[in-house]
Amino acid sequence: MAALADSAARCSPDADATHRHVGDPMEAALHVLAAKAGVPAPPPVLDRTAFDPRRRRASVIDRDGLHVVGAPDAVLPLCRAVPEDAHDQVVALSARGLRLLAVARTADPERGERDLDLLGLVALEDPPRDDVADAIAACRRAGIRVGMVTGDHPGTALAIAREVGLAVPGAPVVVGADLPADDAALAALVDRDGVVVARVAPEDKLRIARALQSRGHVVAMTGDGVNDGPALRAADIGVAMGASGTDVAREAADLVLLDDHFGTIVAAVELGRATFANIRRFLTYHLTDNVAELAPFALWALSGGQVPLAITVLQVLAIDIGTDLLPALALGAEPANPRTLDGPARRGELLDRSVLRRAFGLLGPVQALGAVAAFLTVLWAGGWGFGDTVDPALVATASGAAFAAIVLGQVGTAFACRSASRWAGWRGNPALLAAIAVELVVLAVFLYVPPMPELLGGTGPTALGWALAAAVPALVVAADLVAKAVRR
């Protein structure tokens, strides 16, 4: 065992005389093995061939000879007198999810890497993190397919895939050397959930990313090594490991995981979907405003001025800047709901037909109807008839009712916009409740605190006006609930 640990440690760079190591965890484990075996500090290295993913081995020449460590299928063929059960041991240990290294050496480095003396196999346990299984399950719930592309032995890769729940019945386990040369055939092979590709070369990972993209998929590729750079760059979302990854991988990636947790990727997906939904909420809320603000001007224009203007331009500005800003920002910070990862992600534009239909075809018209109805009802209650000259004080009172109806209607719209498919309730977003409270205070200031009523052109409404304005948010919510029920 001491000879095995000695040669394995000599092939692992970046260690001092006490085998303290900073770098790849596997190399660190080999130095720990050497330290426990009481191996002395290695002699100076005369020549070193670093690990290469194509050779799948590393070698060192020093005064004691040539030392080789690497994948068993890359090292055993170079050895003489290999035990008959060596390959069986490789299969058995790999099936347990262990990473295997074969260690060999020769006292005559002139012969090169052939006729080596096999010193033994090193089995390393690299258990997956506790959160990986839950993260993979969350990906599948979100409609995200997950595959494993690794340089490990296929037996090791399959065992780990089964342990974390990645492997599914019928999913293939493919060795990189057996991947089809035709890109279309490659895409058909790997375009499935739970695929495991082992013993891959750097170009294999790049080909897999491009093959999946050719079938219309959005591809996220993880990696930590120098050779992962091209694949990370080619993927739609390159994800590098920040704690254990190389500088090349971090530079090539779009996203760097500081904690190296696969579960962090799922959290990022959830945050991205929530942000997408929040922008749509923000847009729906503001577009609804535009309909309610435009309706009084359209009515005044279509009537040829026979119907007074319900709100003024300054009132429109007061709504946009004074009352709507905080609720809109609060909707933009809506927390992700438990259904965010249920099903595939929404594909398409932020401002699509569903947003326009909801804002301009439902919420906006209902709110506009409530505001115009409040305005006209207060006018008629004050004795006005169509085409009559109206008292400015009555217009100001009726305008205050329309103004209040629009603002209160936006309160109902804010709660309706919390979900596009169902009623989200009153709680769950404290920022929205606080924003609405501020909105109501600002509304009272605009209607009752001088000089705002005179400046904006609308005064505090009558009791009838307030009753009509207060009915608008309930009307908006009711119309929204009916529309959602019909869609379901």
CATH number at residue 213: 3.40.50.1000
Q: Where are the alpha helices (DSSP H) in 335-462?
A: 353-358, 364-381, 392-416, 430-448, 452-456
Task: Classify 384 as helix, strand or coil.
Answer: coil
Same domain, yes or no: 120 and 156: no
C-alpha span between 350 and 180 (Å, rounded): 38
pLDDT tens-place string over residues 290-300: 899 999 999 99
pLDDT tens-place string over residues 49-87: 888 877 889 999 998 899 999 999 899 999 988 888 899
Same domain, yes or no: 239 and 311: no
The reported pLDDT for the residue numbered 185 is 93
C-alpha span between 423 and 417 (Å, rounded): 9
Name the E strands within 275-373: none
Report which residue type is found at 189: L
Report which residue type is found at 296: P
- Domain coverage including residue 16: 2-124
Return the closest-CA partner of residue 146 out of 165, 160, 159, 126: 165
pLDDT tens-place string over residues 236-287: 999 998 877 888 889 999 999 888 888 899 999 999 999 999 999 999 999 9
Q: Rg for the chain (alpha carbons), in Å?
A: 34
Task: Return all residues near 269 (Cβ < 8 A) that are at least 6 apart.
Answer: 139, 142, 144, 341, 345
Same domain, yes or no: 371 and 349: yes
The reported pLDDT for the residue numbered 31 is 82
Q: Where are the alpha helices (DSSP H) in 37-175?
A: 72-75, 86-95, 132-141, 154-163
> Please, which residues bridge with residue 197 across strands?
149, 174
Answer yes or no: is pLDDT of 346 > 80: no
Answer yes or no: is pLDDT of 370 > 60: yes
Same domain, yes or no: 249 and 322: no
The reported pLDDT for the residue numbered 22 is 52
Same domain, yes or no: 346 and 231: no
Last-in-domain residue among 247, 264, 281? 264
C-alpha span between 309 and 419 (Å, rounded): 34
Return the closest-CA partner of residue 115 out of 66, 61, 42: 66
C-alpha span between 173 and 154 (Å, rounded): 7
Q: Within the chain, how many helices (H) and strands (E) appear?
A: 19, 12
Burial (CB count within 10 angstroms: exposed 0-12, middle 13-18, buried 19+), residue 175: middle
C-alpha span between 17 and 1 (Å, rounded): 19
Backbone angles phi, psi at 50, to 5 degrees: -70, 160
The order of strands in the sheet holding 220-223 is 220-223, 237-241, 255-257
Q: Indicate the Cα dihedral angle 257, 262, 264, 266, nearest 10°.
A: 130
Same domain, yes or no: 239 and 304: no
Number of domains, the chain: 3
The reported pLDDT for the residue numbered 455 is 93
Answer yes or no: is pLDDT of 438 > 60: yes
Last-in-domain residue among 236, 264, 292? 264
The reported pLDDT for the residue numbered 343 is 86
CATH number at residue 71: 3.40.1110.10
Same domain, yes or no: 99 and 183: no
The reported pLDDT for the residue numbered 295 is 93
Distance (Å) of CA 91 to CA 57, 98, 157, 355, 467:
19, 10, 12, 56, 79
Same domain, yes or no: 357 and 482: yes
- What's the pTM? 0.77
Answer yes or no: is pLDDT of 184 > 70: yes
Same domain, yes or no: 374 and 286: yes
Task: Return all residues near 170 (Cβ < 8 A) that are at least 6 apart.
Answer: none
Beta strand pairing call for 99-106 and 65-70 = antiparallel
C-alpha span between 10 and 43 (Å, rounded): 9
Same domain, yes or no: 44 and 146: no
**Are 194 and 167 within 8 A, CB to CB?**
yes
Last-in-domain residue among 212, 232, 264? 264
**Are 282 and 260 within 8 A, CB to CB?**
no
